[in-house]
């Protein structure tokens, strides 16, 4: 079981091993029968880096994310992750216990639809505290205190700690989902259209929060989005997907300012300036 | 059709063997729910078929059987089950806890401390402590296998957040031998501490749900709680109106239609014994003794 | 002075006596015989055999009489009796293709080899209560002129053209699952699912089957074939080494033809649903076939969205003996647990009142009281 002090020292580990990639995707491929999901996707992600995967619907970006998260069977290729003890493991070789533990502590997954990533019948405090209780926290006051401090960090009024997320707005639910995922100081967060379905002003606020949190906590993140503005704001590197294939990748600013591929040029030019 | 003769304690030997194999597994893995092929019994599912099958599997001709329901030997279902075994096994039956070698119980643990010569058989309606948090059996099995009990503490957290207290008053979940979390059957939480380090073998039978589990003698059993909201027993704040006990679980009895009430020991044998020994005890001779 | 209530044992004995008396009813009315029940309440006996999971008309009739006509109580009696019987093996699978059908209908073809045989059916009766039933002597039935006894299965006809999926053949050495010997585990294979449904409550399966027709997990069913009749039961004892006939059973079989499926690599084919039961139990067999097909959603790659497709839900709640036991067990004393709950609620109310008093200034409370 993970105690509090191990969670705190995770930041130190990240600094020491910053020269090794945290997450490696090797030739990830998915076929649905004869239908291509995505093909031969390879990249390396380092601690503290944010990679945006952009493309239109049907590009394969969601399939890729689900394979990275172990939620979908891989047809070909591997996902490698550097564990807290320094060993790089092929996720397919983890036991179910190891994988589930990883997901409760070292990884976060932010769903596009917050109702799927939260327990809607449980209070905000319970939602944030669950991971702590899962790793052995047994002091109600401390759990509550930690939950309150996280609610503050994601700019939710901590007086609402006992309310169910049913009474929260879409933006608040999303921020609660983020708090729920970050409470065990994960090193990697996967996000699926984190601003999808939210009002523009709410999106801006959420993006701002995400940017600060990623920086403050030295998080590595893979953010799937169809919105280039999200990519530009959050990520250092970008991968453009079309028809299941990666057609262009590189530094975000470079790719978006000077797209090489015709499809990327089309994407960039079709963004309506705000 | 000819008159039927039944095997000792009703079940055939094959079935008893099957149940005993499950019991051995259960004892080997304290608190783990072992699936077993529960048989249809002559009483309905939900009325103690699991307990009856376990008792039938462990009973021998020299055993002395006590059956209680809600702590009492005289409640209708306890009477019915006791008669069933008297008829099909011909064993001696008793209402006295310390005379019994096998005690089948519904919803209470006897007040009297049990000994190493005794087996306590619990009737269990829903064996799965996670059931009302997660209805799927496939998922709860996985949670037990991976010791993923976080969701149980979420429930306790929610209780405290909402009510200021843990709101579970019976069937209170407990961790067995630091590994499996179990539902001790709907005993009041008052009885939970008796599960811990008990000299007797404790067996749990759920007939309808088809599960058997066990707590071997002298096993560590800890009721779930928070450090700052520790597990508390609850007992009505009154002595027993019949025997004066202040340490037994009490039944509330309403005595008239204006709501007058009195509190009486739930464990009928315990109460009777206390009254018997009070009646036969010599009167104390002392200047300080209150005048009788 | 309060005396702890005793006499539970006597109360039970008296209750049983009263029950026996009520069961007999007015002594001037002739006692119902088992033969009357078996001959004239045939379909009741069939249902009890099905869900009681035991083929014995006399015992089922006795159960119905003992249960005063309460079907689930009768089913319970038969099941409890079944527990005491020794098993000496498993029969060969019955061959319904060789059935001597008294009824055989198909909704998928206007006519077919062997013909549409209506048999003793309620189907086209007008549901008008008939008081003369009590006095009229029924006419002798008409003898049919039968040209051929060949009755090939509709599904076989379709299978010849590969239009319907093949029933998966079991491996020679595979043992058949039996949920009366091993507790049911999920996910459950089709043999256990069908066994569970065969023993399952007719009403429950009927409702679930109905729900699939109304859109809760649609399977586009057609009644490919329903047949009712006698089949022979064969058994191969170890000592003998070959199969010998034990006798005959009447069974009802329903095969549905359902939603076709196919893909770029597989040509489209119809899929199947199957129902089987003792005696004449058409409604049960048809409902069973609808639910069987719905439960195959997982293996056929369909989304599980409706209750009838939810294996754990359907199979855990289909047994009416278990269901009635647990529902009715609420009648048993639960006062110890209730006491525990009462204690907590009283305490929480006290705390609530204290909190309310502390938060509400005296003037407001006076106003509220007035």
Inter-chain contact B45–C326, Cβ cutoff 8 Å?
Answer: yes
Backbone angles phi, psi at C365, to 5 degrees: -65, -40
Interface partners of chain A (CB pairs < 8 Å, 3 or more) are B, C
B217 class by beta-carbon count within 10 Å (0-12 exposed, 13-18 middle, 19+ buried)? middle
Question: How distant, in Å, are the alpha carbons of B144, B225, C281 from that of B222?
Answer: 17, 9, 53
pLDDT in tens, chain A (274 residues): 444 444 444 444 544 555 789 999 999 999 987 788 899 999 999 988 999 999 888 888 989 999 998 888 899 999 999 998 889 999 999 998 888 889 888 999 999 999 999 999 899 999 999 999 998 899 999 999 999 999 999 999 999 999 999 999 999 999 999 999 999 999 999 999 998 888 888 888 888 899 899 889 889 999 999 889 899 999 999 999 999 999 999 999 999 999 999 999 988 888 765 5
Instruction: Look up residue C10 and give its two tokens.
Output: 């006597």
Task: Identify all chain C residues contacting A33, using CB atoms and an 8 Å cutoff.
Answer: 263-265
Residues B16, B56 contacting (CB under 8 angstroms): yes
A120 to chain B, any CB pair closer than 8 A? The answer is no
Q: What's residue C150's pLDDT?
A: 77
Of B15, B78, B188, the CB nearest to C336: B188
Task: Identify all chain A residues contacting B160, using CB atoms and an 8 Å cutoff.
Answer: 140
Give the Cα separation of B77 and B166 in Å (integer).
31
Please report which confidence band the pLDDT of residue C3 belongs to, taking 50, 70 and 90 as the band edges.
low
Helix segments in chain C, DSSP class H = 8-24, 34-40, 42-52, 57-66, 71-83, 154-160, 190-198, 202-213, 282-295, 311-317, 320-328, 335-359, 362-369
Give residue A250's region: left, alpha or beta (phi > 0; psi -120 to 50).
Answer: left
A 10 A CB-CB count for C108 gives 17
A147 to chain B, any CB pair closer than 8 A? The answer is no
Q: What's residue C303's pLDDT?
A: 85
Give the Cα separation of C2 and B275 in Å (integer).
14
Q: Which residue of A has its CA nearest to B146?
A: A97
Helix segments in B122-256, DSSP class H = 137-145, 150-163, 192-195
Task: Identify all chain C residues contacting B70, using CB atoms and an 8 Å cutoff.
Answer: 333-336
Q: What's residue C143's pLDDT?
A: 82
Q: What's residue A77's pLDDT?
A: 94
**Greater confidence, C321 or C352?**
C321
Catalytic residue among B31, B48, B51, B207: B31
Q: What's residue C198's pLDDT?
A: 97
Task: Identify all chain C residues contacting A34, using CB atoms and an 8 Å cutoff.
Answer: 264-265
Inter-chain contact B40–C80, Cβ cutoff 8 Å?
Answer: yes
Backbone angles phi, psi at C13, to 5 degrees: -60, -45
Of C11, C326, C344, the CB nearest to B208: C326
Q: What single-letter DSSP state applies at residue A101?
A: H
Helix (H) or strand (E) holding B117: none
Instruction: Look up residue A74 and give its two tokens.
Output: 């891989």
Give the Cα separation of C270 and C163 in Å (integer).
6
pLDDT tens digits, one per residue of C138-174: 999 888 776 667 788 888 888 888 889 887 777 777 7
Range in B41-55, B259-273, C264-278, C301-315 with the lowest mean pLDDT? C264-278
Please report which confidence band the pLDDT of residue B286 belongs to, taking 50, 70 and 90 as the band edges.
low
Give the closest-approach CA distance of B216 to chain A in angstroms: 26
Residues C187, C313 contacting (CB under 8 angstroms): no
What average pLDDT does range B259-265 have in this prediction?
89
Inter-chain contact B108–C336, Cβ cutoff 8 Å?
Answer: yes
Q: What's residue B99's pLDDT?
A: 97
A246 to chain B, any CB pair closer than 8 A? The answer is no
Give the closest-approach CA distance of A32 to chain C in angstroms: 12
Task: Identify all chain A residues contacting C265, using CB atoms and an 8 Å cutoff.
Answer: 33-34
**Any bridge partners for residue C101, and if so which?**
C229
A141 to chain B, any CB pair closer than 8 A? The answer is yes
Q: Prior bond to C280 cis, omega within 30?
A: no
Q: What's residue B120's pLDDT?
A: 98
pLDDT tens digits, one per residue of B186-232: 999 999 999 999 999 999 999 999 999 999 999 999 999 999 999 99
**ipTM reported for the complex, 2 dp:** 0.84
Residues A48, A20 contacting (CB under 8 angstroms): no
**Greater confidence, C199 or C7?**
C199
In chain C, the largest separation of any two C-alpha atoms, in whole Å, equals: 99
pLDDT tens digits, one per residue of C73-95: 999 999 999 988 888 888 999 99
- Put simply, the chain A residues between 79 and 118 with a CB less than 8 A from any chain B CB are 96-97, 100, 104
Residues B277, B251 contacting (CB under 8 angstroms): no
Inter-chain contact A125–B157, Cβ cutoff 8 Å?
Answer: yes
Give the closest-approach CA distance of B217 to chain A in angstroms: 27
Q: Which residue of B has its CA nearest to C341?
A: B169
Q: What's residue C229's pLDDT?
A: 95
Give the Cα separation of C218 and C259 in Å (integer).
9
Residues C249, C129 contacting (CB under 8 angstroms): no
- Global pTM? 0.82
Count CA within 13 A, CB hemisphere, residue B235: 17
What average pLDDT does range C338-352 have in this prediction?
89
- Assign B150 to helix, strand or coil: helix
Please report which confidence band the pLDDT of residue B285 belongs to, taking 50, 70 and 90 as the band edges.
low
- Put simply, the chain C residues between 46 and 75 with a CB less than 8 A from any chain B CB are 58-59
Question: How distant, in Å, are the alpha carbons of A21, A50, A79, C303 from that of A64?
Answer: 18, 16, 11, 22
Q: What's residue C4's pLDDT?
A: 53
Interface partners of chain B (CB pairs < 8 Å, 3 or more) are A, C
C141 class by beta-carbon count within 10 Å (0-12 exposed, 13-18 middle, 19+ buried)? exposed
Task: Identify all chain A residues contacting B151, using CB atoms and an 8 Å cutoff.
Answer: 130, 134
Residues C314, C295 contacting (CB under 8 angstroms): yes
C219 class by beta-carbon count within 10 Å (0-12 exposed, 13-18 middle, 19+ buried)? buried
Catalytic residue among B50, B51, B205, B243: B243
pLDDT tens digits, one per residue of C218-272: 888 999 999 999 999 999 998 988 999 999 999 999 999 998 777 666 778 899 9
C345 to chain B, any CB pair closer than 8 A? The answer is no
**Greater confidence, B282 or C197?**
C197
Catalytic residue among B50, B240, B244, B259: B240
Inter-chain contact C340–B170, Cβ cutoff 8 Å?
Answer: yes
Give the Cα separation of C246 and C234 in Å (integer).
6
Of B41, B169, B235, the CB nearest to C80: B41
Give the Cα separation of A155 and A166 in Å (integer).
17
Q: What is the dihedral of CA A157, A161, A163, A166, to 10 degrees?
A: 70
Helix (H) or strand (E) holding B128: none
Number of H-type helices and E-type strands within chain A: 11, 10
Give the closest-approach CA distance of C222 to chain B in angstroms: 32
Q: Is the pLDDT of residue C364 over 70?
A: no
Q: Prior bond to C187 cis, omega within 30?
A: yes
Inter-chain contact B188–C348, Cβ cutoff 8 Å?
Answer: no
Give the Cα separation of A97 and A88 in Å (integer).
17
In the sheet that holds A35-45, the strands lie side by side as: A35-45, A23-32, A76-82, A88-90
Inter-chain contact B208–C185, Cβ cutoff 8 Å?
Answer: no
Give the closest-approach CA distance of A101 to chain C in angstroms: 24
Give the closest-approach CA distance of B162 to chain A in angstroms: 7
Q: What's residue A1's pLDDT?
A: 41
Backbone angles phi, psi at B175, to 5 degrees: -95, 130
Size of interface A-B (CB pairs under 8 A): 53
Q: Is the pLDDT of residue B28 over 60?
A: yes
Q: What's residue C6's pLDDT?
A: 64
Of C80, C322, C336, the CB nearest to B42: C80
Task: Identify all chain A residues contacting B150, using CB atoms and an 8 Å cutoff.
Answer: 104, 130-131, 133-135
Instruction: Look up residue B147 and give its two tokens.
Output: 């010791």
A138 to chain B, any CB pair closer than 8 A? The answer is yes
- Assign A128 to helix, strand or coil: helix
Give the Cα separation of C152 and C317 in Å (integer).
36
Inter-chain contact A134–B150, Cβ cutoff 8 Å?
Answer: yes
Inter-chain contact A140–B162, Cβ cutoff 8 Å?
Answer: no
Give residue C354's region: left, alpha or beta (phi > 0; psi -120 to 50).
Answer: alpha
Q: Is the pLDDT of residue B1 over 60?
A: no
B198 is known as an active-site residue: no
């Amino acid at each position: 079981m993970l105690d509090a002090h191990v969670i705190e020292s995770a930041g130190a580990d990240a600094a020491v091993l910053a020269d090794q990639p945290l997450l490696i995707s090797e030739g990830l491929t998915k076929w649905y029968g004869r239908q291509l999901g995505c093909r031969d996707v390879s990249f390396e992600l380092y601690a503290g880096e944010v990679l945006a995967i952009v493309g239109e619907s049907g590009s394969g970006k969601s399939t890729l994310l689900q394979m990275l998260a172990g939620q979908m069977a891989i047809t070909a290729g591997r996902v490698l992750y550097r564990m807290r003890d320094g060993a790089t493991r092929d996720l397919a070789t983890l036991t179910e216990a190891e994988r589930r533990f990883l997901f409760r502590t070292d990884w976060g997954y932010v769903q596009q639809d917050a109702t799927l990533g939260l327990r809607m019948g449980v209070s905000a405090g319970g939602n944030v505290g669950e991971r702590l209780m899962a790793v052995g926290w047994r002091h109600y006051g401390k759990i509550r205190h930690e939950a309150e401090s996280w609610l503050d960090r994601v700019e939710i009024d901590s007086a609402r700690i006992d309310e169910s997320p049913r009474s929260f707005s879409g933006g608040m639910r999303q921020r609660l989902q983020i708090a729920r995922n970050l409470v065990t100081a994960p090193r990697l967060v996967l996000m699926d259209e984190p601003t999808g379905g939210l009002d523009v002003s709410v999106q801006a606020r959420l993006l701002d929060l995400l940017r600060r949190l990623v920086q403050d906590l030295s998080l590595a993140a893979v953010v799937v989005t169809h919105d280039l503005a999200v990519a530009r704001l959050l990520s250092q590197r970008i991968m453009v997907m079309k028809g299941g294939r990666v057609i262009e990748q590189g530094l975000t600013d470079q790719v978006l300012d000077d797209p090489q591929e015709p499809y990327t040029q089309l994407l960039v030019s079709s963004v309506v300036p705000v | 059709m000819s008159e039927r003769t039944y095997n000792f304690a009703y079940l055939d030997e094959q079935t008893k063997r099957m149940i005993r194999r499950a019991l051995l597994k259960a004892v080997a893995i304290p608190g783990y729910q072992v699936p077993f092929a529960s048989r249809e019994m002559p009483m309905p599912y939900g009325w103690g078929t699991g307990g009856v099958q376990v008792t039938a599997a462990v009973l021998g001709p020299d055993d002395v059987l006590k059956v209680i329901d809600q702590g009492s030997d005289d409640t209708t279902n306890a009477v019915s089950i006791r008669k069933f075994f008297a008829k099909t096994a011909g064993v001696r039956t008793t209402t006295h806890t310390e005379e019994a070698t096998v005690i089948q119980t519904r919803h209470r643990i006897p007040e009297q401390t049990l000994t190493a010569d005794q087996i306590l058989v619990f009737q269990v309606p829903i064996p799965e402590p996670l059931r009302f948090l997660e209805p799927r059996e496939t998922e709860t099995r996985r949670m037990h296998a991976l010791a993923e009990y976080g969701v149980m503490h979420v429930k306790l957290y929610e209780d405290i957040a909402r009510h200021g207290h843990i709101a579970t008053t019976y069937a209170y979940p407990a961790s067995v031998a630091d590994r499996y979390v179990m539902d001790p059957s709907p005993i009041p939480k008052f009885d939970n501490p008796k599960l811990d380090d008990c000299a007797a073998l404790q067996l749990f039978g759920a007939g309808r749900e088809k599960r058997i589990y066990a707590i071997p003698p002298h096993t560590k059993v800890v009721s779930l709680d928070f450090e700052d909201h520790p597990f508390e027993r609850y007992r009505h704040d009154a002595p027993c109106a019949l025997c004066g006990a202040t340490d037994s679980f009490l039944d509330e009895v309403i005595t008239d239609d204006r709501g007058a009430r009195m509190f009486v020991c739930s464990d009928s044998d315990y109460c009777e014994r206390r009254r018997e020994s009070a009646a036969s005890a010599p009167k104390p001779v002392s200047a300080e003794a209150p005048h009788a | 002075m309060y005396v702890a209530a005793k006499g539970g044992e006597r109360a039970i004995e008296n209750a049983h006596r009263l029950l026996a008396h009520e069961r007999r009813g007015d002594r001037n009315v002739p006692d119902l015989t088992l033969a009357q029940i078996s001959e004239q309440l045939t379909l009741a006996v069939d249902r009890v055999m099905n869900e009681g999971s035991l083929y014995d008309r006399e015992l089922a009739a006795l159960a119905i009489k003992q249960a005063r006509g309460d079907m689930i109580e009768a089913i319970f009696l038969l099941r409890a009796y079944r527990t005491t019987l020794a098993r000496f093996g498993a029969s060969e699978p019955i061959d319904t293709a060789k059935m001597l059908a008294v009824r055989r209908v198909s909704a998928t073809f206007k006519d077919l080899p062997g013909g549409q045989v209506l048999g003793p059916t309620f189907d086209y009766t007008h549901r008008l209560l008939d008081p003369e039933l009590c006095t009229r002597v029924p006419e002798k039935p008409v003898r049919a002129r039968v040209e051929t006894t060949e009755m090939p299965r509709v599904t076989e006809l379709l299978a010849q053209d590969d239009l319907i999926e093949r029933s998966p053949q079991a491996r020679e050495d595979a043992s058949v699952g039996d949920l009366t010997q091993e507790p049911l585990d999920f996910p459950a294979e089709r043999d256990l699912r069908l066994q569970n449904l065969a023993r399952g409550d007719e009403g429950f399966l009927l409702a679930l089957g109905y729900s699939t027709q109304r859109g809760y997990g649609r399977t586009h069913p057609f009644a490919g074939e329903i047949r009712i009749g006698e089949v022979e039961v064969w058994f191969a004892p170890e000592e003998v080494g070959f199969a010998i006939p034990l006798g005959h059973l009447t069974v009802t079989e329903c095969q549905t033809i359902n939603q076709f499926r196919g893909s770029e690599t597989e040509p489209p084919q119809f899929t199947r649903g199957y129902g089987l039961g003792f005696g004449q139990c058409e409604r049960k067999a048809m409902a069973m076939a609808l639910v069987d097909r719905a439960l195959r959603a997982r293996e056929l790659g369909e989304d599980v969205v409706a209750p009838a497709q939810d294996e754990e839900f359907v199979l855990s709640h289909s047994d009416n003996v278990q269901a009635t036991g647990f529902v009715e067990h609420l009648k048993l004393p639960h006062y110890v647990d209730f006491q525990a709950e009462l204690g907590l609620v009283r305490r929480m109310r006290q705390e609530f009142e204290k909190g309310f008093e502390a938060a509400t200034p005296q003037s407001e409370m006076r106003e509220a009281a007035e």
